Every structure is written in C-alpha cells, then in structure tokens.
Amino acid sequence: MPETSASVSCDAVIIGAGIVGSLTAWNLSRMGFKVAVVESQDPASGATGACNGGLSYTGKPSALLEPALESLSIYKSLEKALNFDLECDQKRGLVLLAEREEDVPPMLEMVAEYKKMGLKSEFVPGSRIRDLVPVESDLLGGVTSHDGLEGLVNPFRVVYGCLKRTIEDGGRLYTKTQVTAVELQGGSVSGVVCEGEGPATIRSPLVVDCSGVAAGNLERPFGLHFPIAPCKGIVLVTEETSLRLHKNIMTRSLFSDSAGGIASTGNTANTALYREYSVALEQTANSNILIGSSRDFSDPQSGWRVDAEVVKAIARNARRYVSGLKNLNIIRTFTGLRPYTPDGLPVIGETGIPGLLVASGLGGYGITLGPWVARVISDMASGGRVRWGNPVVERAVSPLRFH
C-alpha cells in the first residue's frame, strides 16, 4: 500500500520523545531501522524535562546497580558518538548525606558492596564532609564517589542530540500527535492509530512504548496491566552564582523513597506526603543550582501546576544544608510527572505480543538508566543477544511480573 499524508510506514514506532524514547530511536536508526518517533506534546516535555539531570549509581536498588554502571559507562562516550555537546560532567561525583543515625549502617553496607565491585566509594565522617561540599548542618557523615562515573548531564541536550541524529539518518519526528491504539494483524503488531498533527496511521511491525506515565493505556485492551502511577516532582532553579558545588549533594531519603516504590511514599493524603522532602542539589554548566526534591502522588490531575507551599518547603529544606542558598534568587520552577511502580523498579521488555515492547516506570532513575534501557530495547528489536547483564535484572524489570 503506498504512503499518503494520512498513512505512513516505517520499521519501528517509538512512542514518546523523552530520554528513553529518543535514545532508543537513535540506537535503532543507526542499526538501519527506519524510525518514526511519535510525541503527544514536544520533545522532553514530560519527566525528562522536569528533573535535575543527575547521573549516579549510588543508592540504586541492587537489581539496578549493574544497569546503572553500564549506562554511566555509555555516557562517557555518548557525546563523541552523537557529535553533540550534552553538557555532561562525570568528574563531579556526589555526596550522599546521612541525616539520621539509622542512615549510617545501610550506607556502610552500601560502600562495602561497592568496594567489592571495584568502585571508588567511601564513607566520609561528618568532620570531613565540609571539605567536600559547603554544607552547614551538623551531619553524621556521607557516602562519596570519585571514579569518574557520577555527575550531571543536560537531559534536553541528550534528547535533541539523539533526535537530530535520528532525523539525519532518515527518521521522522511527529509532535503534537497522540497514539490512540496499537493495531494487530494475525496476533502481531501491524501499526498504530494516531490523532493530532501527524499521520492518522503508521504501519510498522514494531512499536516501543516509551510514553512515561501514559504507558499501559495502549496495552490495556490486550489484557496487559502495568501499575504505573504518576508522581509529580518540583525542581527550583537559582540565578547564576559564584557559590560552587563541586559535587552533587543528596540525602539518603531521596534514594530510599524512590527504591521503595509507590507504597513507601504515603500517597493517601497530603499530610503524609508533605511531611518531609528529600534534598538534591546540582550545579549546571552555567552555574545555576538545581534544587529538589518533592514527590506528590496525591493529585495527578493537577498536572503541571506548581504548588507554592511545596516550593517553599523545598527551599527551606535545602537551606538547612547549604546556607549560601538563602542569598540566591529563584528564577524558575518547573514540574513534571514521573512514572513509578509499586516495587520501585521499571517496566522494560517484551509484553507477550509480538512486536510490542515497553520501557517505562523508571521513576527517578530515567536519566541515569536511559542509555542502558535503549540498548536493551534495541537488542530485542534487532533479534540479537539482549545485554541484560544478568538474569536477575531481566526478571526484576519484566513487564509480565504484574500478571
């Protein structure tokens, strides 16, 4: 059947132009696939464009530690491969702060595990923390790394770089276009139905759902269920400053909450949700400081609306650790919906329907894990050996684990 303005064909449809979708599109395009990326809004308009852009393995759940390390290794050569400036700095490392006495034992265990893997991680006592970062609070200590893996990247640059290369390779990008259905023929994927500014139908034997919080909606008619919940997070941006954060600063609660999935966040009432906030501070290439973080499962219908009380709470919490922040102006706040699952692990892989793959549910791990996820999905799409790392990872993130 010939192509028309209402119907096009390709080798692979990627739903969602966030970091995972864009990286997957680029991976497939350089493998020779004719790719169509379909985005309901604009590139990086979801969770990817509403985060700090931190890169880390510290604090990741054990099932995701090896994938995080693989992904961070890919980042080291990604700028060169794309020939595109990603504002990637993996020399910074981070400091994960111990806020309470009960934080220390698991952090010591974490460091011991990392050292067994050959990573350059150590627990630094509170007396030495200020030698690393300009914190003011009396702290019990923290975990720090210095192995050239952890740091910061500009997620917008990653998305734009990948899409630029995909289009140069003959791929297509359709924005303001919503995929409303996946079509099957003989039990296998045959294409998608769309509405919006793009084509009405796209014929393809492969569809990869990278739609973030919307993942699962297209699969539901086929009896598939992915319990992905939207979690709203808010990030503050300061003016450019001479204050220097030579490492990313985070508190352990940032990772313990994320690793615990939906169940640990107290999402049944605002009072439970707003009880405490995690701290995540990172400095951009332009010397702005990104300040987070909050998690809000209580009102997904509020969408992109920024809650002034949450903004104040994030700022107050951050000032407890770095008093120099109190002299800075906040020039911007932004929010996004991040896809979380009950067990805190992503949904990546085959759905049981030939030609339909999914990559979502990454919560707060999407920027770090993006290159690894894209590689796994591309391995599946090409029929090659899937580089999971180990079978534990494959089982842990399987979309079918909820069935």
Residues 319 and 257 in one domain: yes
- Nearest CA to 68 among 113, 104, 12, 37? 113
Question: CA 19 from chain center: how many Å?
Answer: 7
Question: Domain for residue 80, yes or no?
Answer: no
Write the CATH number for 178.
3.50.50.60
Examine the domain organization and report whether 320 and 233 are in the same domain: yes
Into how many domains does the chain fold? 2
CA quadruple 257, 312, 156, 302: dihedral sign: positive
Q: What is the C-alpha separation between 148 and 76, in angstroms, rounded?
A: 9
| Residue 322 and residue 305 share a domain | yes
Cα separations (Å) of 316 from 108, 134, 245, 254, 292?
A: 28, 16, 18, 16, 11
Indicate the residue type of 369: L
Residues 385-394 as b or e (16 or more Cβ within 10 Å = b): ebebbeeebe
Distance CA 316, CA 197 (A): 43
Q: Are 163 and 36 in contact (CB under 8 A)?
A: no
**Do 170 and 130 lie in a common domain?**
no
Provide the domain limits for residue 373. 7-50+156-227+345-402
Are residue 351 and residue 324 in the same domain, yes or no? no
Q: What is the pLDDT along the chain (403 residues), one digit of tens a residue?
A: 455 568 999 999 999 999 999 999 999 999 999 999 999 999 999 999 999 999 999 999 999 999 999 999 999 999 999 999 999 999 999 999 998 899 999 999 999 999 999 999 999 998 898 889 888 767 889 999 989 999 999 999 999 999 999 999 999 999 999 999 999 999 999 999 999 999 999 999 999 999 999 999 999 999 999 999 998 889 999 999 999 999 999 987 665 544 445 544 433 333 334 334 788 999 999 999 999 988 887 666 666 788 888 899 999 989 988 989 999 999 999 898 999 999 999 999 999 999 999 999 999 999 999 999 999 999 999 998 999 988 899 999 999 999 8
Task: For residue 189, give Cα distances in angstroms to 288, 368, 399.
Answer: 45, 30, 17
Q: How far apart are CA 23 and CA 20, in angstroms?
A: 5
End-to-end CA distance of the chain: 37
Does 308 share its domain with 262? yes
Given phi > 0 = left and psi -120 to 50 = alpha, else beta, which region is 314? Answer: alpha
